[in-house]
Amino acid sequence: MTKPSEKIVIFDTTLRDGEQSPGATMTHDEKLEIATMLDEMGVDVIEAGFPIASDGDFAAVSDIARNADRAVICGLARANLKDIDRCWEAVKHARQPRIHTFIGTSPLHRAIPNLTRDQMAERIHETVTHARNLCDDVQWSPMDATRTEWDYLARVVEIAIKAGATTINIPDTVGYTAPNESAELIRRLIAEVPGASDVVFATHCHNDLGLATANALAAVEGGARQIECTINGLGERAGNTALEEVVMALKVRHDIMPFTTGVDSTKLMAISRRVASVSGFPVQFNKAIVGKNAFAHESGIHQDGMLKNAETFEIMRPEDVGLNATSLVMGKHSGRAALRSKMKELGYDLADNQLVDVFVRFKALADRKKEVFDEDLIALMQDEERQSEDRIKVDYLRVVCGTEGPQEASLRLVIDGEVKASEATGDGPVDAAFNAVKALVEHHARLQLYQVSAVTEGTDAQATVTVRMEEDGRIVSGQSADTDTVVASVRAYVNALNRLMVRREKGGTDGREISYKDVG
């Protein structure tokens, strides 16, 4: 008789740990949108944020808690009563709230608050007890668990269980462990710590050595029944375990890993694209499951095999992750009905007024491109969403470039409804255009990243441009797409400036201000 599959709890921390990636800050509305998509996709637990971090984070967690239909909504709190109280105030509105509290237990982390082993153990007991008095569902994490001495780790896990923790999360905070160690650590904790059989053990892996997914799956083999992960593997440094990877690994290799999740895998591609758009972190082409090349075959041998039998070189179908098997090419003769149908197929259910706006932009794009592919429409839609709330918008841009310098740019921006113009020169058309923006929008942000990638093939392909900027410790990203690379560059730059304004407003009045002027 076949043993029934065990359920693995999928704990998504895109909105908390994922958002800690430098420049990946999301707006309030974007967080609510991603949380809704996660909830609809079947994620079991959504870690919505760090409520005490800021008023904005508190408001986002609180609103997500109020709006979630089925997922457990979790907030993060450090091991102190003030953090835990603030976290509870944010998550208590959820149908199923959870408090997640943590403290660093390795020798390196114990040295930061300068606590002895006994002092830290006492704090763990106090804070977990306090959290459990507020909420029936409490998760506790010994940060940097994989570099914590075994005897001390076992001791504090037992303390947390006795204090009322219902989930014990074992974080590989710096991506240090290896699969065999990951499995053995969970297995040993379950076997040797009193009360371990009464709680759920979780695994939280970082990808510093490229082992996050392998370590998470190994932990499941060792007895963990919750995986903490993020969409696209977003996260600090090299990122976290990728949700799409563990979900599909458990689905495809069910023969050797008899576990199930509640995630609707056909929604993976849509949420991957959305997270990439709002975070400003594009998905690498060869990214497993959701990368542009994940189902592409160029080798002659591969193509021949695919034509004869798709299973020769594909272990899963594109449709399994929400990727259309066939792509209907749109063109300048396509009408509104065809566009509405295509956008719905791509995950965008447009209202009538949205359809009118998108159709105008689609026609303009179709006039410049012979064929408009799915990727073009997604880029167009994402660009529309990025610019809809911007206070600064590009109205007109003209550049003069070539082998004879200097390169020149003429620019008009609409700033809070008012048109302002400038001209500038620079070392190349993009530099000239950026200088023209700076002439109108004075700021002190430093450009950290400028990246261009083609949406599709061909000389008429749209370029997606990503910029990352830093000012006074605030890091923001901006993105835009256009068949004109310079236009896409300026719009991405302006998109980042809009995000910088939002970050500054959330952070109060300290720091440098953005000012506007008309030099035209």
16-25, 30-39, 78-87: least confident range: 16-25
Last residue of a domain, one of 244, 279, 314: 279
Residue 280: its pLDDT value, please?
Answer: 79
Domain count, the chain: 4
Residue 506: its pLDDT value, please?
Answer: 64
Q: Per the domain annotation, does 430 fall within a domain?
A: yes
Paired with 453 in beta bridges are 464
Q: Per the domain annotation, does 230 fall within a domain?
A: yes
Last residue of a domain, one of 304, 325, 346: 325
Pairing type for strands 138-143 and 97-104 reads: parallel
d(CA 483, CA 480): 11
**Mean pLDDT (whole number) for 121-145:** 98
Residue 126: its pLDDT value, please?
Answer: 98
Strand order in the sheet with 392-400: 392-400, 407-415, 418-426
Whether 26 and 499 have beta carbons less than 8 Å apart is answered as no
Whether 85 and 60 have beta carbons less than 8 Å apart is answered as no
Q: What is the pLDDT of residues 413-441, one digit of tens each?
A: 999 889 999 999 999 999 999 999 999 99
Residue 513: its pLDDT value, please?
Answer: 44
Please give the single-letter amino acid code of residue 252: V
The CA–CA distances, whole Å, from 294 to 216, 285, 290, 321, 375 equal 21, 8, 6, 11, 15
Q: What angle in degrees, to the nearest 10, is found between the helix axes of 28-41 and 268-279? A: 170
Q: What is the pLDDT of residues 246-304, one digit of tens each?
A: 999 999 999 999 999 999 999 999 999 889 888 878 888 899 999 888 876 443 433 34
Q: CATH no. for residue 415?
A: 3.30.160.270
Percent of the chain at pLDDT > 70 equals 91
Q: CATH no. for residue 188?
A: 3.20.20.70
d(CA 319, CA 312): 17
Is position 518 annotated in a ligand binding site? Answer: no
Q: Based on the domain organization, do 210 and 256 belong to the same domain? A: yes
d(CA 515, CA 513): 6
Q: Per the domain annotation, does 289 fall within a domain?
A: no
Q: Report the predicted TM-score, pTM, of the whole model to 2 decimal places.
A: 0.81
> CB neighbours of 29 closer than 8 A, spacing ≥ 6?
none
Q: Per the domain annotation, does 447 fall within a domain?
A: yes
Instruction: From 382, 342, 376, 345, select the one nearest 463 (Cα to Cα).
Output: 376
Residue 78: its pLDDT value, please?
Answer: 97
Strand order in the sheet with 463-471: 446-454, 463-471, 474-482
Residue 3 burial (CB < 10 Å; 0-12/13-18/19+)? exposed
What would the 3-class secondary structure string for 182-229 be? HHHHHHHHHHHCCCHHHCEEEEEEECCCCCHHHHHHHHHHHCCCEEEE
Q: Based on the domain organization, do 308 and 368 belong to the same domain? A: no
Is position 206 annotated in a ligand binding site? Answer: yes
Whether 54 and 62 have beta carbons less than 8 Å apart is answered as no
Q: What is the largest CA-CA distance in the chain?
A: 79
Q: Grade residue 475 by pLDDT with cuts at 50, 70 and 90.
A: confident
State yes or no: pLDDT of 310 exceeds 60.
Answer: no
Residue 516: its pLDDT value, please?
Answer: 45
Tokens 């694209």 locate to 273
Q: Per the domain annotation, does 286 fall within a domain?
A: no
d(CA 400, CA 184): 63
The CA–CA distances, whole Å, from 114 to 78, 83, 107, 350 equal 16, 19, 10, 55
Residue 27 burial (CB < 10 Å; 0-12/13-18/19+)? middle
Q: Which two tokens stand for residue 200?
A: 């759920």
Residue 285: its pLDDT value, please?
Answer: 83
Among 141-150, 333-342, 504-513, the range with the most confident prediction by mean pLDDT is: 141-150
Whether 149 and 174 have beta carbons less than 8 Å apart is answered as no
Percent of the chain at pLDDT > 90 equals 61
d(CA 17, CA 230): 8
Q: What is the pLDDT of residues 479-520, one digit of tens each?
A: 898 999 999 999 999 999 988 887 777 654 333 444 444 443
Half-sphere exposure of 94 (CA within 13 A, CB side): 31
Last residue of a domain, one of 371, 387, 403: 387
Q: Based on the domain organization, do 142 and 236 belong to the same domain? A: yes
Instruction: From 174, 113, 114, select the one nearest 146 (Cα to Cα).
Output: 174
Residue 510: its pLDDT value, please?
Answer: 39
Whether 46 and 12 have beta carbons less than 8 Å apart is answered as yes
Q: Which two tokens stand for residue 447?
A: 């450009």
Q: What angle in degrees, to the nearest 10, is found between the helix axes of 374-388 and 268-279? A: 40
Q: Based on the domain organization, do 371 and 432 belong to the same domain? A: no
Residue 250 burial (CB < 10 Å; 0-12/13-18/19+)? buried
234-238, 454-458, 489-493: least confident range: 454-458
User: Which residue segment(s) compose the domain that 381 sits in?
Assistant: 327-387
Q: What is the pLDDT of residues 178-208, one digit of tens each?
A: 999 999 999 999 999 999 999 999 999 999 9
Whether 397 and 382 have beta carbons less than 8 Å apart is answered as no
Q: Per the domain annotation, does 284 fall within a domain?
A: no
Q: Based on the domain organization, do 257 and 374 belong to the same domain? A: no
Q: What is the pLDDT of residues 109-123, one digit of tens each?
A: 999 988 999 999 999
Q: Based on the domain organization, do 64 and 180 belong to the same domain? A: yes
Is position 17 annotated in a ligand binding site? Answer: yes
* 3-class secondary-structure state, position 462: coil
Q: Based on the domain organization, do 169 and 195 belong to the same domain? A: yes
Residue 399: its pLDDT value, please?
Answer: 93
**Mean pLDDT (whole number) for 227-250:** 97
Whether 62 and 90 have beta carbons less than 8 Å apart is answered as yes
Is pLDDT larger for residue 3 or for residue 462?
462
Q: Which two tokens stand for residue 107?
A: 């020798």
Residue 61 has what DSSP assignment?
H
Q: Per the domain annotation, does 486 fall within a domain?
A: yes
- Average pLDDT over the chain reads 88
Q: Per the domain annotation, does 265 fall within a domain?
A: yes
Q: Based on the domain organization, do 54 and 167 belong to the same domain? A: yes
Whether 436 and 409 have beta carbons less than 8 Å apart is answered as yes
* 3-class secondary-structure state, position 430: helix
73-87, 117-131, 493-507: least confident range: 493-507
Q: Based on the domain organization, do 410 and 381 belong to the same domain? A: no
d(CA 504, CA 486): 27
Q: Based on the domain organization, do 62 and 203 belong to the same domain? A: yes
Please give the single-letter amino acid code of residue 425: T
Q: Based on the domain organization, do 205 and 345 belong to the same domain? A: no
Q: Based on the domain organization, do 125 and 187 belong to the same domain? A: yes
Q: What angle in degrees, to the nearest 10, is found between the helix axes of 336-345 and 352-368? A: 100
